[in-house]
């Protein structure tokens, strides 16, 4: 599974909303290091970081859905929910594959002490 959804509608981190006004309140903007300033001629870069509670919930949901869909009798609804959760994890972690997303998410949770 690769975390790309060509042609899919845009939803912001599982909130179901169509645009920036519906961005999950569990996300926060992280300030760039001080050496990334416009004065130095470099463009500033901001990255949204999920709150550890949100990240923990997504990892738990992904693992539960992955286990539930392992058998060939998994419903299309469960498979869709797994794909949606994998996609959200990839977006939040800045990765393109669920295994990478899980590794990044677990590292961030460990760094946060969760």
Q: What is the pLDDT of residues 58-112, one digit of tens each?
A: 999 999 999 999 987 889 999 999 999 999 999 999 999 999 999 999 999 999 8
The CA-based angle 99-29-41, given to 5 degrees, is 105
On the CB side of 44, how many CA atoms lie within 13 Å of its CA? 10
The CA-based angle 51-55-56, given to 5 degrees, is 115
Query: What is the C-alpha to C-alpha distance for residues 86 and 61, in angstroms, rounded to an integer?
Result: 9
Higher per-residue pLDDT: 54 or 7: 54
pTM: 0.61
pLDDT band with cut points at 50, 70 and 90 for residue 8: very low
DSSP E strand boundaries for the chain = 27-30, 47-50
Handedness of CA 28, 18, 86, 53 (dihedral sign): positive
**Residue 45: per-residue pLDDT:** 66
């Amino acid at each position: 599974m690769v975390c790309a959804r060509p042609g899919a509608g845009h939803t912001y981190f599982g909130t179901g909303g169509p645009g920036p006004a519906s961005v999950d309140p569990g996300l926060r903007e992280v300030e760039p290091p001080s050496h990334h300033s416009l004065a130095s001629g470099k463009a500033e870069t901001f990255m949204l970081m999920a709150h550890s509670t949100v990240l923990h919930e997504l990892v738990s949901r992904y693992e539960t859905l992955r286990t539930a869909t392992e058998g060939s009798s998994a419903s299309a609804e469960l498979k869709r929910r797994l794909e949606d959760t994998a996609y959200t994890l990839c977006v939040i972690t800045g990765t393109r594959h669920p295994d990478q997303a899980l590794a990044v998410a677990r590292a961030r949770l460990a760094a946060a002490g969760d």
